[in-house]
């Protein structure tokens, strides 16, 4: 576990276990600090882990390299209401492949540049940039209303 990298990454609820450095990218292998979650249906705390599926999420670039986070997507079982609950991480929106701060950064860049330019800069397709832009716009509009 690297406390310095965990501090630099500045994401709540996770720690950096290890990292891999490649020519154009860096992968941080994260683990989640919490041992369980509160069931959103019955509000009972459960630590009964059903399954773990690793996911890879893109984060803000650093040192001229793309940054990816490899973290466990944990699913718990609640004995009280007999449901399976997937853990929600506060720095990633549901079913997204990017951190919130990365999506916010893309959104801001599109506001000051073009979608095509942001696409080239971040090595994303135009469709990916449009999807990120629309998602952030929709999310920010729903927060305001």
Question: Are 26 and 86 found together in one domain?
Answer: yes
- pLDDT one-digit tens code per residue, 15-24: 999 999 999 9
61 has a pLDDT exceeding 80: yes
- In order of 17, 21, 127, 133, 135, the CA distances from 25 in angstroms are 17, 6, 22, 23, 25
Q: For the segment 94-128, what is each residue's pLDDT rounded down to a tens digit? A: 899 999 999 999 999 999 999 999 999 999 999 99
Burial of 99 (0-12, 13-18, 19+ CB in 10 A): buried
Q: What range does the domain containing 46 cover?
A: 1-92
pTM value?
0.91
Tell me: do 35 and 102 sit in the same domain: no
Which pLDDT score, from 0 to 100, does residue 133 have? 96
| Domain total in the chain | 2
Q: Considering only CA atoms, which of 104, 91, 118 is closest in space to residue 30?
A: 91
The reply to whether 70 and 100 lie within a common domain is no
User: Taking CA 34 as the corner, what is the angle to CA 28 and CA 37, rounded to the nearest 5 degrees?
Assistant: 125
Residue 106 shares a structural domain with residue 79: no
Task: Give yes or no: residues 110 and 56 share one domain.
Answer: no
- In this structure, the answer to whether residues 137 and 88 fall within a common structural domain is no
Burial class (CB in 10 A: 0-12, 13-18, 19+), 86: middle
pLDDT of residue 1: 60
Same-domain status, 9 and 63:
yes
């Amino acid at each position: 576990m690297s406390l310095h990298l965990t501090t630099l990454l500045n994401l709540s609820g996770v720690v950096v276990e290890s990292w891999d450095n490649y020519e154009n990218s860096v992968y941080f292998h994260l683990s989640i600090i919490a041992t369980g979650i509160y069931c959103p249906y019955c509000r009972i705390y459960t630590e009964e882990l059903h399954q773990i599926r690793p996911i890879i999420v893109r984060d803000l670039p650093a040192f001229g390299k793309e940054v990816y986070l490899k973290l466990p997507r944990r699913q718990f079982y609640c004995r009280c209401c007999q449901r399976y609950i997937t853990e929600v991480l506060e720095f990633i929106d549901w079913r997204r492949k990017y951190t919130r701060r990365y999506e916010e950064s893309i959104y801001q860049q599109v506001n000051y540049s073009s979608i095509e330019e942001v696409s080239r800069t971040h090595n994303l397709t135009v469709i990916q940039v449009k999807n990120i832009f629309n998602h952030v716009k929709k999310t920010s509009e729903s927060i305001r209303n």
